[in-house]
Structure 1
Amino acid sequence: MNREESGSGRKVLVINDGSLSALVASMMERERGDVIAWVPPAGSGLSEDEPGSGRSAELVREQAALLGYVQVRVVDGDPGDPGADEDVGLETTLLLVSAVADAARLGCERVVWPVVCGADLERMQRASERAMLVSRLAWLDEGAFPGALPGAGAIPGGTISGGGFEVTTPLVDLTHGQVEEMACDLDAPEGVCLGETPV
């Protein structure tokens, strides 16, 4: 079933830096509805692309032409000092919040962050926790996400309900090898991502 056949009208924002993991996540999501590709600044905490190369946006536009993404949004910004590892966590969080803000403006029901952590349990936990906490921030403004499923938002008394809009990490517990296998299973097009697409 392709995007046209799904007929759901649901929109999802996929953080797509042109990597193989982003391509796989986008292909999985287009089966469920309309994909908006959100291209983070090269060299940022959400991008595998080299700072200043501009290759990510070019590749994602090629993907959009082949796979029918409804929109490609290229985020301008300074990726900061790529050598400053201690700032990557905060930068990643701020970029996720920015993606969520764009998702709200575009009427998306969720943000997909295609982070791959492999066997690094600590990194996996941080990524999952970061996604959950950014989702909870979004729940504070439940009316901002008309495309989300009902049930999210602040409850009188200051607690947060579950459900509704979320930032998902569908590939977080996979290795890069497993993502390559998924790309083969999905018949991912060749030459439209930063990594090598398997034959």
Structure 2
Amino acid sequence: MLVSRNFSACKSLLNKKADGVKEPQTTVVHNPVDGTKGSSESCNTTEEEEVKAAVPGRAASSDSAVLSQCSGNEGSPQYPPASRKQEIIKITEQLIEAVNNGDFEAYTRICDPGLTSFEPEALGNLVEGMDFHKFYFENLLSKNSKPVHTTILNPHVHLIGEDAACIAYIRLTQYIDSQGRPRSSQSEETRVWHRRDSKWLNVHFHCSGAPAAPLQ
């Protein structure tokens, strides 16, 4: 069974501030168990931890086991894996919102300045830095006033320690072409995130399939 969070709006409506709130235009559709699978974390909640309170005599041994499992992460803030996975999905939503809205400033706040990428627009070449992406923001994305809606299908997050993560998903984009006809395009994307100073930054992404900016 799929669970979806639906947010849809026209770009022109996003710029209206009558209600003081900008509505996102991204939908995330994923399996409800995704938050507990695919993790590379070594420190997870176990049944032994859950019964500690019921069996006082085992508390000390359970504590030792937990400390042993997590010893490699001392000094780093601990968050439940499911919570951190949702955090990665959310920041990915925000990045795609910035693309849909043609907001290069918001995009640069979420991306590392040395961002590397493979994408259809680069014709198979590895691109580094923001200048390549800035061209599309200035000459295409920021000039679009037609509705755009993106659906992120089945995001799968791998946690790599406390400060790195990788997310893979299908990106389905609905847009209006130059003839006023509704169109859809699909791409397969992988993004690598790195947390620095408590802030997640996209350091690399790989896009296969349709161009990420199909608004011609």
Give the TM bin, normalised by the shorter chain.
under 0.3
The two structures have a TM-score, normalised by structure 2, of 0.22
More strand by share: 2
Q: Taking structure 1 as the reference length, what is the TM-score of the superposition?
A: 0.24
Task: Decide which structure has greater helix share.
Answer: 1
